[in-house]
């Protein structure tokens, strides 16, 4: 099963290698990892997707918490989570095909961010499932390149993952 | 404003942390620090290879109860420390590891003696720092001391580029607060969980306690004794937990595990309640933890939440410092373990310890030797066991009274005993300290004879010489069709002559009849002494 884990970390050089090193040496498989700074520039937020079971996720949370630069760890419940990935897709769309690709793009809610005589480049921010659908639809036209970010995720509702207040 | 160098700031911080001894080996990239250290109140012990600086600091920490400090230069000095750091990490020993580093503007260019030591040591350190601004040094060192000694102890590495040591920074008052947002170890223990544990003890008909090294980390062996005697619960020990209860105590059933003793292993097999205290249930202690948890209810008390449920499922987890948890258990637990059960396991132990050990004529019988050694040494002595057959003989037959048994439990690092004994003796000069090693492990650390001479400390060394790597030889006998591969220590040197070359008195014992006299000779002065025992190469660990 896939689990999505949000981790607040100190925004230092070297923290990413501490976290990724922990995963590899404990034998946890990272499916996806995304990092970005939060509203507090001293703190970054990592979103990590792992494949595993309950035992692995419990160990992972505990081992992550042991790292000194890790401030908070939370495994997000799939039903209560909004998860997104950003993709940039370069499609062959020469004469005759451009209209069709544009229609698919519009239908799926992608944005066209670059146009040449022979290609279109689409920007798409959505769930993994819808991203895969878009890719399937575009495949017959000749996908030249796909770049995807790791998944980022946030909880639904008013709850927010924030560092515990200093005493 | 008064300005001081980064190096002077480092030494000032160490002095403020009340560091009295540091173990190290100098090199170019750490010279500014050593230039300040020589003018300080801190005694520097010069080891003969960096790995042993970490081992000695480990021995020092375990006996003094305070962080051990070790120092090395950049590059090879730092990488030589790695085995020592990893050994301390596995056994949760608080170390401050200081390494010199090349100039910060040259980092990453593969200059002379550059090694990414924070990267290399990452899996074996509780935390590490690469100093990038000299003015951060006081905060970093204060944080490092706090992190290494609190929660689950462990080594913390501080890598200091040489220009940071030379940069002038404003002088400072060390009395500033530290606040590490991601580090707030839980110490108290959840009282509801403790209540559940007390209930489980009340209803149990066959309870045992398994005491590990965490009992020492929490300095809770006195409380353990109090609790055990109050509730009359039998105790088994992991190798790291040897001595948490005196070996001769009626309720101490001995060490469990693949190299442990029958009374302890039978007790864990028969128990219906197992209380793990500061023990992580390593594979050598419990081969099939799942089976144990099916038979018995498990209460797991540990300061590190990640240890609970890692190797053995726990029915009642308690995260906390054993000093607090045991104090609360003593207060709340009034029950006594059923006397029938206690009699059953303690009788078994009594019979076991009275069993005769068959004596051989031509050689020294190592188990009887260890018993005799523990009878001759003072009650508060420190025994440092190395790794291999000698470790098993020491663990099972050296009786710890009020002293300590030190060994590299988690990592099983050969060569640990001698540098560990150096650190232990320096931490407690008034106590007898003896390292027991094999002829293999002795040769991994025999350069430290020079440190012993230079420091003029009365460390005793016993070599169990069988001209074999005996533990691996046994493994090959059992699992590799008796094909002996690379286990013969041919061309062993004359160990007595080696000791004499350093000015250390030494003696060979080749029969049981000489053992008592030889031990007396070794212990009669507080000078270093080396005793070489000829052991039958076919003699087993168990």
| Residues A17-44: tens digit of each pLDDT | 999 999 999 988 899 999 999 999 999 9
Map out the domains of chain A as residue ranges: 2-76, 82-152
Q: Who contacts B478 (Cβ-Cβ below 8 Å, separation ≥6)?
A: none
| CATH code assigned at B217 | 3.40.50.1220
DSSP annotation string for B288-354: -HHHHHHHSEEEEEES-GGGTTTSS--SEEEES-HHHHHHHHHHH------HHHHHHHHHHHHHHHT
Residue of A62, A68, A163 with shortest CB distance to B305: A62
Residues of A in contact with B317 (CB under 8 A): none
How far is Cα B108 from Cα B115, in angstroms, rounded to an integer? 9
**Domain coverage including residue B330:** 191-353
* Residue where one domain finishes, among candidates B325, B353, B381: B353
How far is Cα B98 from Cα B57, in angstroms, rounded to an integer? 12
Residue in B with minimal Cα distance to A166: B181
Question: Is B181 within 8 Å of A163 when comparing Cβ atoms?
Answer: yes
List helix spans (H) across B17-161: 31-37, 50-64, 76-80, 82-90, 117-121, 137-149
A2-76 and A82-152 share one fold: yes
Fold of A2-76: Alpha-Beta Plaits (3.30.70)
Same domain, B36 and B150: yes
Tokens 């100093």 locate to B131
Mind listing the pLDDT tens digit of every residue in chain B (542 residues)?
A: 899 999 999 999 999 999 999 999 999 999 999 999 999 999 999 999 999 999 999 999 999 999 999 999 999 999 999 999 999 999 999 999 999 999 999 999 999 999 999 999 999 999 999 999 999 999 999 999 999 999 999 999 999 999 999 999 999 999 999 999 999 988 888 999 999 999 999 999 999 999 999 999 999 999 999 999 999 999 999 999 999 999 999 999 999 999 999 999 999 999 999 999 999 999 999 888 988 889 999 999 999 999 999 999 999 999 999 999 999 999 999 999 999 999 999 999 999 988 888 887 789 999 999 999 999 999 999 999 999 999 999 999 999 999 999 999 999 999 999 999 999 999 999 999 999 999 999 999 999 999 999 999 999 999 999 999 999 999 999 999 999 999 999 999 999 999 999 999 999 999 999 999 999 999 999 999 999 999 999 999 99
Same domain, B506 and B404: yes
Count of helix runs (H) and strand runs (E) in chain B: 23, 20
Same domain, B528 and B393: yes
Q: B419: how many CB neighbours lie within 10 A of its CB?
A: 34
pLDDT at position A165? 54
Tokens 């580029």 locate to B161
3-state secondary structure of B125: coil
pLDDT at position A166? 47
8 Å CB contact between B493 and B425? no
Chain A (49-68) residues lying within 8 Å, Cβ to Cβ, of chain B: 55, 58-59, 62-63, 65-68
**Alpha-carbon distances, residue B301 vs B27, B192, B200, B222 (angstroms):** 43, 13, 14, 17
Same domain, B467 and B445: yes
Same domain, B346 and B382: no
A140, pLDDT greater than 90: yes
| CATH code assigned at B451 | 3.40.50.970
Residue of B119, B122, B306 with shortest CB distance to A62: B306
Q: Is the Cβ of A16 closer than 8 Å to some Cβ of chain B? A: no
How many angstroms separate the CA of residue A31 from the nearest CA in chain B?
Answer: 22
Question: Is B306 within 8 Å of A14 when comparing Cβ atoms?
Answer: no
Determine the residue among B90, B146, B150, B306 to mutate to test chain A binding: the one whose Cβ has the most chain A Cβ atoms within 10 Å. B306
Residue B541 lies in a domain: no
Residue B184 lies in a domain: no
- What's the domain count of chain B? 3
Residue B466 DSSP one-character state: -
Question: Is B182 within 8 Å of A17 when comparing Cβ atoms?
Answer: no
Question: Is B306 within 8 Å of A59 when comparing Cβ atoms?
Answer: yes
Residue B177 lies in a domain: no
Question: Is B305 within 8 Å of A21 when comparing Cβ atoms?
Answer: no
3-state secondary structure of B113: coil
How far is Cα B145 from Cα B143, in angstroms, rounded to an integer? 5
Q: Dihedrals φ, ψ of A100, to 5°?
A: -65, -45
Residue of A21, A55, A66 with shortest CB distance to B123: A21
**Alpha-carbon distances, residue B531 vs B104, B118, B460, B465 (angstroms):** 48, 40, 8, 10
Residues of A in contact with B180 (CB under 8 A): 68
* Residue where one domain finishes, among candidates B137, B170, B203: B170
Same domain, B272 and B161: no
Residue B159 lies in a domain: yes
How far is Cα B85 from Cα B518, in angstroms, rounded to an integer? 36
8 Å CB contact between B382 and B406? yes
Q: What angle do CA B418, B423, B426 make, to 5 degrees?
A: 125
Residue of A14, A17, A71 with shortest CB distance to B182: A71
Residue B539 lies in a domain: no
Q: What ipTM was predicted for this assembly?
A: 0.91
- Name the CATH architecture for the domain at A82-152: 2-Layer Sandwich (3.30)
Q: What angle do CA B154, B160, B165 make, to 5 degrees?
A: 135
DSSP annotation string for B227-281: HHHHHT--EEE-GGGTTSS-TT-TTEEEE-STTS-HHHHHHHHH-SEEEEES---
8 Å CB contact between B385 and B391? yes
Kindly list the residues of chain B whose beta carbon comes within 8 Å of any beta carbon in chain A. 118-119, 122-123, 126-127, 130, 147, 179-183, 304-306, 309-310
Residue B161 DSSP one-character state: E
Determine the residue among A66, A67, A72, A74 to mutate to test chain B binding: the one whose Cβ has the most chain B Cβ atoms within 10 Å. A66
Residue B19 CA neighbour count, 13 Å, CB half: 29
Same domain, B268 and B371: no
pLDDT at position B401? 97
Break chain A down into helix, strand, coil percent, rounded to 5: 30, 40, 30
A167, pLDDT greater than 70: no
């Amino acid at each position: 099963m896939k689990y999505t884990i949000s981790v607040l970390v100190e925004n230092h050089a070297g923290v990413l290698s501490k976290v990724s090193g922990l995963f590899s040496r404990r034998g946890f498989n990272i499916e996806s990892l995304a990092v970005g700074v939060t509203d507090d520039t001293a703190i970054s937020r990592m979103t990590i997707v792992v494949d595993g079971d309950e035992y692995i996720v419990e160990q992972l949370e505990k081992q992550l918490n042991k790292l000194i630069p890790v401030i908070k760890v939370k495994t997000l419940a799939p039903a209560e989570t909004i998860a997104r990935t950003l993709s940039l897709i370069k499609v062959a769309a020469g004469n005759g095909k451009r209209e069709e690709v544009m229609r698919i793009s519009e239908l799926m809610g992608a944005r066209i961010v670059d146009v040449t005589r022979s290609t279109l480049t689409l920007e798409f921010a959505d769930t993994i499932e819808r991203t895969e659908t878009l890719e399937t639809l575009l495949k017959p036209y000749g996908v030249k390149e796909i770049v995807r970010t790791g998944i980022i995720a946030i909880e639904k509702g008013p709850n927010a993952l924030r560092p515990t207040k200093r005493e | 404003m008064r300005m001081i160098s980064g190096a002077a700031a480092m030494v000032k911080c160490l002095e403020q942390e009340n560091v009295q001894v540091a173990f190290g080996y100098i090199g170019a990239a750490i010279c500014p620090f050593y230039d300040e250290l020589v003018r300080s109140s801190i005694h520097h012990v010069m080891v003969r290879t960096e790995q042993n600086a970490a081992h000695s600091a480990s021995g020092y920490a375990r006996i003094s109860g305070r962080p051990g400090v070790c120092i090395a230069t950049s590059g090879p000095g730092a990488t030589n420390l790695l085995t020592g750091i990893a050994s301390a990490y596995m056994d949760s020993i608080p170390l401050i590891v200081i390494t010199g580093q090349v100039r910060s503007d040259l980092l990453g260019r593969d200059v002379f003696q550059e090694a990414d030591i924070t990267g290399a040591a990452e899996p074996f350190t509780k935390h590490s720092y690469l100093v990038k601004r000299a003015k951060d040094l006081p905060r970093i060192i204060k944080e490092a001391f706090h992190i290494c000694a609190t929660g689950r102890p462990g080594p913390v590495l501080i890598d200091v580029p040489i220009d940071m040591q030379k940069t002038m920074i404003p002088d400072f008052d060390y009395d500033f607060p530290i606040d590490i947002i991601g580090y707030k170890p839980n110490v108290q223990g959840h009282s509801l969980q403790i209540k559940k544990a007390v209930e489980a003890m009340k209803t149990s008909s066959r309870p045992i306690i398994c005491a590990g090294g965490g009992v020492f980390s929490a300095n809770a062996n006195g409380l353990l004794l109090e609790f055990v005697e109050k509730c009359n619960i039998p105790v088994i020990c992991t190798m790291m937990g040897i001595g948490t209860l005196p070996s001769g105590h009626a309720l101490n059933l001995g060490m469990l595990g693949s190299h442990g003793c029958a009374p302890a292993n039978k007790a864990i097999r028969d128990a219906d309640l197992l209380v793990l205290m500061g023990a992580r249930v390593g594979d050598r202690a419990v081969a099939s933890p799942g089976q144990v948890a099916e038979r018995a209810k498990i209460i797991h008390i540990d300061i590190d939440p990640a240890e609970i449920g890692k190797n053995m499922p726990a029915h009642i987890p308690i995260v906390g410092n054993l000093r607090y948890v045991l104090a609360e258990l003593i207060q709340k637990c009034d029950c006594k373990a059923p006397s029938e059960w206690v009699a059953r396991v303690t009788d078994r132990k009594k019979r076991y310890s009275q069993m005769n050990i068959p004596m051989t004529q031509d050689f020294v019988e190592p188990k009887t030797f260890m018993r005799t050694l523990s009878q001759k040494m003072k009650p508060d002595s420190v025994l440092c066991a190395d790794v291999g057959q000698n470790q098993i003989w020491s663990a099972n037959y050296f009786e710890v009274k009020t002293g300590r048994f030190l060994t590299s439990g988690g990592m099983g690092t050969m060569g640990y005993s001698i540098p560990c004994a150096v650190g232990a003796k320096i931490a407690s000069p008034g106590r007898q300290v003896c390292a027991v090693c094999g002829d293999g492990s002795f040769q991994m650390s025999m350069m430290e004879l020079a440190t012993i001479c230079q420091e003029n400390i009365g460390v005793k060394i016993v070599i169990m010489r069988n001209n074999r790597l005996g533990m691996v030889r046994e493994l090959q006998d059992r699992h590799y069709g008796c094909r002996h591969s690379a286990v013969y220590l041919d061309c062993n040197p004359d160990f007595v002559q080696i000791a004499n070359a350093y000015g250390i008195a030494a003696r060979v014992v080749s029969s049981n009849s000489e053992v008592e006299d030889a031990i007396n000779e070794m212990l009669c002065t507080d000078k270093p002494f080396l005793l070489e025992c000829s052991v039958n190469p076919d003699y087993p660990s168990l």
